[in-house]
A and B are shown apart, each in its own frame.
Chain A
């Protein structure tokens, strides 16, 4: 009896071990496939300027410069949420009305014809910022003010203004705390509102703002570390205030020589920051981000470069079968054999034969299916059809002669 019990116990242990192993494998597979299950579908950008008053002109210029860069590299207005806490362009103290510059040479007017500001003035609050990130809006909020990202989105979150140790100042009256930001990002991850997120902060002691983050798929870079200040780049004596911050200035310097088709990696951007020029240390954290920065192009976040699927025929994407097949392609193996497509067609055409209004005889359906198989083999469609049309006349003559 003892032996039997021992034997059964051993069996049970072995089974338990096997089950655990399988479970591990299964979860590994799940983990592997979950990150690869979603593909990159679109790019979003949330650009926030949190400062008011005329002397914070440079924060608005920072945000507008990045807006321009991101638009130039391909993200459309529909997928940019631009939040500007104050209006410098039409400020009474602006010598150049409706113009915002980020350089004293005034070469580039950032506030041109094509600026779409989603949250302006008093609308830029911590509450609205969190509503945008988490997607918890009231019913009446229009679509242009919502972050309508999905689980395949790459989001760029850029924040600039006055900040400090674990906070960012909004509108000179309230603060955004680092753990609130981490909570919002955690909510976004749970609601699957992004695939990858890049947080870029240009404030004093910027790196403390994302110190509490724990969600995977997040990359963050700040212009300065704890205890350091971020400085403005230069003063524009004509406008009367500083027009750009150093971190953003060098970021723009990096992007100005890029276009959509460059695939410079993120590591080249992050290592382009020179601490002596910035007068602070640009710190970035990659512990939450699985991919290697050498492989990730900057257009992954800053632009919108999509993979193109080239099709020859004009209408192939219209039929339901084709769209279903595109969804299948999204999974791991992309090699859908062409034979599958051909074999699906006879079932389609079988349905048509039933709906044929002139077809009254059942035996014709069999003929129809044999004709379908012949049809699949035809390569040169136009020549065949023209031969068929020309053949009608002699066929008609023969048939009339037969039944004369």
Chain B
């Protein structure tokens, strides 16, 4: 009910500004609703896995478990970045809609929806292609759970409790425990890949027909993906690539293009290995990294991952530097337009003023990613502690 009231008030305030084009507004509303649904799904999984682990301490205080879906939806809607992207009629809300649609579909094990969202997100901007790894992990393993070896340890402790006098009794004990989803199920993944290819063929056929007169699909790829990958236009933006590529020598330009884009790719595999039990969080980290290192970032991208950050408030409650990050974000978002104005419109500043704010923004994003990952891993370690105490108590 509270959320509906918030939507109403938001709607009245925003619809006045968006006179002609309410698409971005409705996209943001749908984004918030999908984030909320995803958050509810994740939370159910979290409570279920805590029950499986008999994590008494956390379960005893239900007030401590904050409804992460609602928080995330509110954070997304009231984020000034989201409002700015919506009012500025940027296409970021639509790209975010595609990404969130794919995440929601994957959480709900809806392969066609997830495939559709992923294909549209990759079509609109190239970088969500890296989300295929979290998609596959989500469809194979299921939503975020504590690490699998905790479940195995729990089971060992349980088995250790009852001495194996009667084999059949032991088996019953084991059977009575609900199955732990630590097996990677390939069926949803195969479905997902099939639906991906179907949707991509559909989209490519439509694109091919509509750009038939203008040189065909190859021309389309050259001018959209090729443009993003080769960084043709060096207008200043809130990213860090334009400044660098304005001064790089032509001989090294291709090398540095590969380095910058490889920077995103190199981080994919280690993170996937470390966070494979938490695919939603992995998707959040990938989105944060890509929105920092992509060739043309915008505030709409950070609106997305700041909203998704709200999904993990329970796990990231002990994150360090949270106040510093908050102040940093506020400061950068206030200073950055000022420096841009000083440089471009008044001519009293120079590019370094603006680039300093862009660098500070990149540093803040890096700190956010690093701290959130370490907070998540600390949370997992914290979950392990009572089990080790139990084991230690035994032995």
A contact residues vs B (CB 8 Å cutoff): 313-316, 318-319, 345, 348-349, 351-352, 355-361, 364, 367-368, 371-372, 375, 378, 381-382, 384-385, 388-389, 392, 395-396, 399-400, 402-403
Of A314, A357, A364, A375, which is within 8 A of B197 by CB? Answer: A364
The interface size of chain B toward A, counting residues with CB under 8 Å, comes to: 30
Q: Which of B5-13, B106-114, B333-341 touches A? A: B106-114
List, in ascending order, chain B residues with CB within 8 A of A378's CB.
Answer: 209, 212
How many whole Å from B56's CB to the nearest CB in chain A?
37
Whether the pair B116, A318 counts as a contact (CB closer than 8 A) is no
List, in ascending order, chain A residues with CB within 8 A of B112's CB.
Answer: 396, 399-400, 402-403
Q: Please, how many angstroms separate the alpha-carbon atoms of A367 and B212 in the complex?
A: 18
How many whole Å from B265's CB to the nearest CB in chain A?
13
Whether the pair A318, B208 counts as a contact (CB closer than 8 A) is no
Most chain-A CB neighbours within 10 Å: which of B110, B191, B217? B217
List, in ascending order, chain B residues with CB within 8 A of A400's CB.
Answer: 110, 112-113
Q: A315-B219, A396-B116, A399-B112 are in contact. Are A358 and B196 (CB under 8 A)?
A: yes
Of B196, B210, B218, which is within 8 A of A385 by CB? Answer: B210
Q: Please, how many angstroms separate the alpha-carbon atoms of A387 and B353 in the complex?
A: 48
Of B122, B209, B221, which is within 8 A of A375 by CB? Answer: B209
Whether the pair B216, A319 counts as a contact (CB closer than 8 A) is yes
How many A-B residue pairs lie within 8 Å, measured between CB atoms? 84
Q: Is B234 in the interface zone, CB < 8 Å from A?
A: no
Of A345, A364, A367, which is within 8 A of B216 by CB? Answer: A345
List, in ascending order, chain B residues with CB within 8 A of A358's CB.
Answer: 119, 122, 196-197, 200
How many whole Å from A85's CB to the nearest CB in chain B?
45
Q: Please, how many angstroms separate the alpha-carbon atoms of A351 and B201 in the complex?
A: 16
Listed by A's residue number, 10 A-B pairs whose Cβ atoms lie within 8 Å are A313-B213, A313-B214, A319-B215, A345-B212, A349-B217, A359-B197, A371-B201, A375-B209, A384-B209, A400-B112
* Chain B positions 115 through 129: 1 when the CB is less than 8 Å from some CB of chain A, otherwise 0: 010010010000001
Q: Which residues between 102 and 155 of chain B lie within 8 Å of chain A, taking CB atoms?
A: 110-113, 116, 119, 122, 129
Closest to A396 in B: B116
How many whole Å from B41's CB to the nearest CB in chain A?
16
Q: Is B206 in the interface zone, CB < 8 Å from A?
A: yes
How many whole Å from A224's CB to the nearest CB in chain B?
59
Q: Is B84 in the interface zone, CB < 8 Å from A?
A: no
List, in ascending order, chain A residues with CB within 8 A of B129's CB.
Answer: 357
Please provide the 8 A-B residue pairs with the shortest distance between their CB atoms, ordered closest to farther: A399-B112, A315-B214, A385-B210, A358-B200, A388-B206, A313-B213, A319-B215, A352-B217
Closest to B198 in A: A399
Whether the pair B200, A403 counts as a contact (CB closer than 8 A) is no
Whether the pair B214, A375 counts as a contact (CB closer than 8 A) is no
Whether the pair B216, A375 counts as a contact (CB closer than 8 A) is no
Q: Which residues between 185 and 240 of chain B lie within 8 Å of chain A, taking CB atoms?
A: 191, 195-197, 200-202, 204-206, 208-210, 212-219, 221
